[in-house]
């Protein structure tokens, strides 16, 4: 009897969140990604280090970011106009496609990797910078349920500009704003370099 009740409760909970169960089509996403290729590459691996790699990124995170661009919550001169016309299904399809792609292996700057590893793994108690590993995991794979993105293999240039955007308040995320605001330029460069080489 308890087992039946537990199953009924679980089924009801799942039914209440149909959008979380919605899935995208990798094939449809590939077709829809044609306009994204100029910046993010044909397989989500950007050739320009100023633009993010999307290959292997959690679908839930991609959808959340596209929704933020579409609503205006997140602003970007290139992405905001691209997201405005996307439907929910378009976002799900694009997210499914990019999540299914293999990220390219990038290398860390050997001169910065040790300092970057220390920050990533242990943070900096003196400045109050939290360890990146706590949310993004030991290999930078993040947590899709908590919307913590995959950051491993991300271009150092893009990661550094993102951290600076959090520090300035240009990008909104209370936790990341607080962490990034405590980081020096050297910290940002080092941890971004380390992230680039993570696999």
> What are the tens digits of pLDDT across the range 4-40?
333 333 333 433 333 444 799 999 999 999 999 999 9
Q: Is the whole-model pTM more than 0.85?
A: yes
C-alpha distances (whole Å) from 72 to each of 59, 171, 174 are 20, 12, 18
Nearest-5° Cα angle at 174, 144 to 17: 40
Q: What is the largest CA-CA distance in the chain?
A: 62
C-alpha to C-alpha distances, 73 to 45, 67, 119, nearest whole angstrom: 25, 8, 29
Measured CA to CA in angstroms, residue 2 lies from 6, 8, 11, 89 at distances of: 6, 10, 14, 38
Tell me the pLDDT band of 137, cut-offs 50, 70 and 90. Answer: very high
Please tell me the predicted confidence (pLDDT) of residue 13.
40
In this predicted structure, what is the pLDDT of residue 52?
Answer: 98
Q: Is the pLDDT of residue 56 over 70?
A: yes
């Amino acid at each position: 009897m308890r087992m039946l009740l537990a199953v009924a409760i679980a089924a009801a909970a799942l039914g209440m969140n149909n959008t979380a169960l919605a899935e995208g089509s990798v094939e449809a996403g590939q077709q829809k990604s044609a306009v994204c290729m100029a910046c993010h590459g044909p397989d989500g691996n950007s050739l320009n280090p100023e633009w993010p790699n999307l290959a292997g990124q959690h679908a839930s995170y991609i959808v959340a970011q596209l929704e933020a661009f579409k609503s205006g919550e997140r602003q970007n001169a290139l992405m905001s106009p691209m997201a405005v016309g996307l439907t929910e299904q378009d976002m799900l399809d694009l997210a499914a496609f990019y999540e299914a792609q293999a990220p390219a292996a990038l290398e860390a700057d050997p001169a910065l990797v040790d300092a970057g590893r220390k920050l990533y793994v242990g943070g900096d108690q003196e400045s109050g910078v939290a360890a990146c590993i706590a949310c993004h995991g030991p290999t930078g794979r993040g947590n899709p349920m908590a919307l913590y993105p995959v950051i491993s293999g991300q271009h150092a240039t893009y990661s550094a500009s993102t951290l600076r955007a959090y520090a300035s308040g240009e990008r909104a995320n209370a936790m990341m704003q607080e962490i990034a605001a405590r980081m020096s330029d050297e910290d940002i460069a080092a941890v971004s370099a380390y992230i680039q080489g993570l696999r």
